[in-house]
Amino acid sequence: MPIEILLVDDSPGDVRLTQEAFRDANSLIKLHVAADGVEAMAFLRREGPHIHAPRPDLILLDLNLPKMDGREVLAQIKEDDDLKTIPTLILTTSDAEADIVKSYRLQANCYLNKPVRFDAFESLVKSINDFWLTKVKLPPQAPSG
């Protein structure tokens, strides 16, 4: 059974790197991509073209996004009774203290800083897989529809 992950990131380069890294880490992972906050919410709410979208087991959320930024997406996810149970990990290049504090205030499950070096990034993805998708018990999926 595939593991569904929603990656919200506007950098195609980063998206591809993440895909490659996850592919190496766990072949069962199916990565869905939203390039901005509006698309992310449409996917999660199964609106418009995303009417048949699966409910993700995990959300990887960048902070700096066009149209609606990651902080706003995070707020909306965690205010939504249905969506808030999905573990949402912030994955961003920013290491600003203000961003870290705000994310946890908005109830992000954790905050991850994208490493500059590629091998470190791969190692991070592997850690995400080991922890969140292997060790951690995720909530059971609600029936779809």
Partner 1 sequence: MPNAAEKHLAQMESKYHGLLEAAPDAMVVVNQGGDIVLLNLQAEKQFGYRRDELLGQKVTNIIPKGFAERLIADDLRSAEDALAQQIGTGIELIGRRKDGGEFPIELMLSPLESAEGILVTAAIRDISARKTDEKHLAQMESKYRGLLEAAPDAMVVVNQGGDIVLLNLQAEKQFGYRRDELLGQKVKNIIPVGFAERLIADDLRSAEDALAQQIGTGIELIARRKDGGEFPIEIMLSPLASAEGTLVTAAIRDISVRKAAEANLLQKVNELYRSNEELEQFAYFASHDLQEPLRMVASYTQLLSRRYKGKLDSDADEFIAFAVDGASRMQRLIQDLLAYSRVGSKGMNLLNVSSEDALQQALVNLRGAIEESGALVTHDPLPVVLADEMQLILLFQNLVANAIKYQKPGVPLVHISAARSGGKKWLFAVRDNGLGIDPQYFERIFGLFQRLHKREEFAGTGIGLAICKKIVERHGGRIFVESQPGQGSTFRFSLPASKEKL
Smallest gap from residue 116 Cβ to partner 1 (A):
6
How many beta carbons lie within 10 A of that of residue 35, not counting itself? Answer: 18
Q: Which has the closest alpha carbon to 10: 86, 103, 85, 73?
A: 73
Our finding on whether 66 is near partner 1 (CB under 8 A) is no
Our finding on whether 134 is near partner 1 (CB under 8 A) is no
Residue number with CB closer to partner 1 (92 or 109): 92
Among 1, 51, 98, 116, binds partner 1 (CB under 8 A): 116
Stretch touching partner 1 by CB under 8 A, among 52-60, 78-86, 109-117, 132-140:
109-117
Q: Which two tokens stand for residue 20?
A: 């490659």
**Number of residues near partner 1 (by CB under 8 A):** 12
Burial class (CB in 10 A: 0-12, 13-18, 19+), 11: middle
Smallest gap from residue 65 Cβ to partner 1 (A):
14
Our finding on whether 117 is near partner 1 (CB under 8 A) is yes
Contacts of residue 60, Cβ cutoff 8 Å, sequence gap at least 6: 5, 6, 7, 8, 9, 18, 89, 91, 128
Positions in the binding site for partner 1 (CB under 8 A): 11, 13-14, 17, 20, 93, 114, 116-119, 121
